[in-house]
A and B are shown apart, each in its own frame.
Chain A
Amino acid sequence: MEPVEVAHTLRPLLESGEKILCIQSKVGLYNGHVRDEEHDSGTVYLTSLRLVYVDQQSPREKSMELHLSRIERCSLHSGFLYSSGKISLYLRPTPGRGSGKAPEQMPAQADGRKYAWVSPYGSIGSAAASAATAAAVERLNGHARPHTAPSAGSPDWMCSICENVNKGGEGKCALCGVPRQGDSVPVEVDDALERAIANSMRQHARCPVCTFDNHASMTRCEMCDSELQPQDSSVPLAGNMARAEAVAGEDPSAPCYDAAAGDGDVSNVELIKLSFRAGGSSSFYTTLNETVNSSTWLVVDIDSAADTPGGAAQAGAVQRSTTARERRPTVGGISTLVSAAHETERARDVTLRSAFADLDALTAMANEILGLAEQIATQLNSPAASKLRKRGGSESDEDTAERADAFRQYLLDLGIDSPVTKDTAGAAFHEELARELCDYLENYVSKCGGTVALVDAYCLYNRAREFTLVYPSDFVQACNKFSALDLPLRLREYPSGLLAIEDPGSASDALIIGRIKRYIQSFGPVTANDLAALEDCPLTLAEERLWVCERAAQVCRDESVEGVRFYSNVFVDSASGSTGDNARPDDSDRQWHFI
Chain B
Amino acid sequence: MTTTAASMDTEFQFPEIYNFPPFFTRQPNDSTWKEQRRMWCDLILSYYKYNNLSSMTLAEAVSDPLFNNKQIHRSLRVDTLREVVEELVKQGNACWTGPKNTRDACLIFWRKPEAWASIIHQWASENGMFNMVFTFFELANGDDTVEQEFHGLDPLTLRRALDVLQGQGKAQLFVGTSDEDIGVKFFHSS
Contact = CB atoms under 8 A, between A and B. Distances in A.
Given A571-B27, A572-B31, A556 B16 contact: no
Interface stretch (A177-185, A260-268, A452-460, A562-570): A562-570
* Of listed B17, B35, B39, residue having the most chain A CB within 10 A: B35
B16 A584 contact: yes
A558 B39 contact: no
A188 to B, nearest CB: 86
A592 B32 contact: no
B20 interface: yes
B97 interface: no
Nearest to A550: B29
B27 A556 contact: yes
B63 interface: no
B21 A595 contact: yes
Interface in A553-594: 553, 556-560, 565, 567, 569-572, 574-575, 584-585, 588-589, 592-593
B61 to A, nearest CB: 20
Contact of A572 (B25, B32, B73): B32
A551 interface: yes
Nearest to A585: B16
**Which of under 10, 10 to 19, 20 to 34, or 35 or more describes the interface residues of B?**
20 to 34
Contact of B32 (A525, A553, A565): A553
A550 B16 CA distance: 22
Given A584-B16, A588-B16, A557 B35 contact: no
B118 interface: no
B28 interface: yes
A571 B21 contact: no
Interface in B2-23: 16-17, 19-22
B36 interface: yes
B32 A567 contact: no
Interface string A466-491: 00000000000000000000000000
A565 B20 CA distance: 12
A560 B28 CA distance: 15
A553 B33 CA distance: 9
B1 to A, nearest CB: 8
Nearest to B19: A592
Contact of A569 (B16, B25, B32, B73): B32
Contact of B21 (A553, A560, A575): A560
Interface in A24-41: none
Given A571-B36, A571-B39, A551 B21 contact: no
Contacts of B16: 584-585, 588-589
B27 A557 contact: yes
B74 interface: yes
Interface in B79-117: none
A550 B38 CA distance: 19
B72 A595 contact: yes
Given A525-B21, A558-B25, A559-B25, 13 more contacts: A553-B31, A556-B22, A556-B32, A557-B25, A560-B21, A571-B27, A571-B36, A588-B16, A589-B16, A592-B19, A592-B20, A593-B72, A595-B72
Interface of A: 525, 550-551, 553, 556-560, 565, 567, 569-572, 574-575, 584-585, 588-589, 592-593, 595
